[in-house]
Amino acid sequence: MNKTQKGALAVLVITAVFLIFSATIPFAWFSDVPVLRILPLAFLALACVVMGLSIIFFIKKQSCCEVGFDERDITIKRKAIFASYIALWVLICIACIVPSAILGEEGSIKVVFLPIIIFGVFLFSMLVYSIAILIQYGWGGKDGQG
Amino acid sequence: MNRLQKRAWVNLIMMAIMFVYVAIRFFVLADGLKEVESGFAGLLTYLFVAGLCVLQPLLSRKKDQVHFDERDRLINYRAILGTYTAFWLLILPAFLFPWFVLGSDDLVSVHVLRILLAAIAIILLLVYSILILVQYDWGGKDNE
């Protein structure tokens, strides 16, 4: 695995944990069960641990002859950035147009939803970026390995 | 001029027309003309979008096309990367500033979201076009 793949895998894992963390928040918000109320905190702690492990995984070389970074990797990275950029636009358009479709022309939303929208869009675009990289390397298959 | 430069120029010209119109709307039109003018605003917006939609594919036609090589792809990639960065620089303050100023419990109209989206899209189109033209030295001799 080269640096790009390791980075993409680390981002994918961190993003997945953060998405699960985000999904647990409504449960904690509306539930009276004590276990469910501490669920987001547990996932936040897990996200921090996973983030630390991912950074170590990203920095630490697997072997002395770990693959370098060549022209093909640059092309893969560029394509992933394109995919992420397109996904970003699709998501932000959906996030800005869906509320008016649901609530009507005179509707309004709480201001607290604005940072949540941005956080969600950021997580999904990172997810698309990592998946695009891993798909192009064949999910770390033979072609992508050193 | 290749298709990237042509598109960038079309974007800039269309936006210049829009900005002139907005300037006229705010500074020149009298109150009595407001009703006529509001209908004209909608028409002009549709014309702007239709103009972009029609002109962009026309400019991408294969015939009379200057060769599009690796350097052009790199320029396009850099412009998109710059636009991507500008996207985050714009959207973070646009979405976080109301939260800091108004607080969590205040309400914001759904119109605001669409206006923010449209404003950011127009600014990013401008950034993308300028980045393309700057990298080509504004269509100087080297790119002919």
Rounded Cα gap, residues B34 and B38, in angstroms: 6
- Chain A residues within an 8 Å CB radius of B111: 100, 105
The whole-chain average pLDDT of chain A stands at 79
Reported confidence tier of residue B83, pLDDT bands at 50, 70, 90: very high
pLDDT of residue A67: 64
Contact A140, A67 (CB under 8 A): no
* Closest in A88, A96, A108 to B117, CB measured: A96
Range of weakest confidence among A40-44, A65-69, A91-95, A97-101: A65-69
B86 has pLDDT over 90: yes
Contacts of residue A43, defined as CB under 8 A and 6 or more positions apart, other chains included, come to A17, A20, A21, A24
B13 has pLDDT over 90: no
Contacts of residue B59, defined as CB under 8 A and 6 or more positions apart, other chains included, come to B3, B6, B7, B10
Could you say which DSSP state residue A34 is in?
Answer: H
Range of weakest confidence among A113-122, B6-15, B46-55, B124-133: B46-55
Reported confidence tier of residue A6, pLDDT bands at 50, 70, 90: confident
- Chain A residues within an 8 Å CB radius of B91: 92, 118
- Chain B residues within an 8 Å CB radius of A125: none
Q: Which residue has the tokens 């932000």?
A: A92
Using the Cβ of B106 and the Cβ atoms of chain A, whether some distance falls under 8 Å is answered with yes
B3 or A131, which is more confident?
Answer: A131
Supply the ipTM of this predicted assembly: 0.72
Q: What is the mean pLDDT of residues B117-133?
A: 89
Scanning A96-125 for CB atoms below 8 A from B yields: 96-97, 99-100, 103-112, 114-115, 117-118
B42 has pLDDT over 70: no
pTM exceeds 0.80 for this model: no
**Mind telling me how many Å the CA of B109 is from chain A's nearest CA?**
4
A35 has pLDDT over 80: no
Rounded Cα gap, residues A18 and A37, in angstroms: 17
Range of weakest confidence among A43-52, B34-43, B49-58: B34-43
Reported confidence tier of residue A111, pLDDT bands at 50, 70, 90: confident
Contacts of residue B120, defined as CB under 8 A and 6 or more positions apart, other chains included, come to B87, B90, B91, B94
Reported confidence tier of residue B60, pLDDT bands at 50, 70, 90: low
Residue ranges of domains in chain B: 1-68, 69-138
pLDDT of residue B84: 92
**Mind telling me how many Å the CA of B69 is from chain A's nearest CA?**
15
pLDDT of residue A146: 41
CB burial class (10 A; 0-12, 13-18, 19+) of residue A139? Answer: exposed
Tell which residue, A39, A45, A42, has the closest CA to residue A26: A39
pLDDT of residue B108: 86
Q: What is the mean pLDDT of residues B72-91?
A: 90
Q: Which tens digits make up the pLDDT trace of A57-88? A: 777 766 666 666 678 888 888 889 989 999 99
Structure tokens at A61: 């070389």
- Please list the residues that pair with B107 across neighbouring strands: A110
B33 or A79, which is more confident?
Answer: A79
B18 has pLDDT over 70: yes
B5 or B32, which is more confident?
Answer: B5
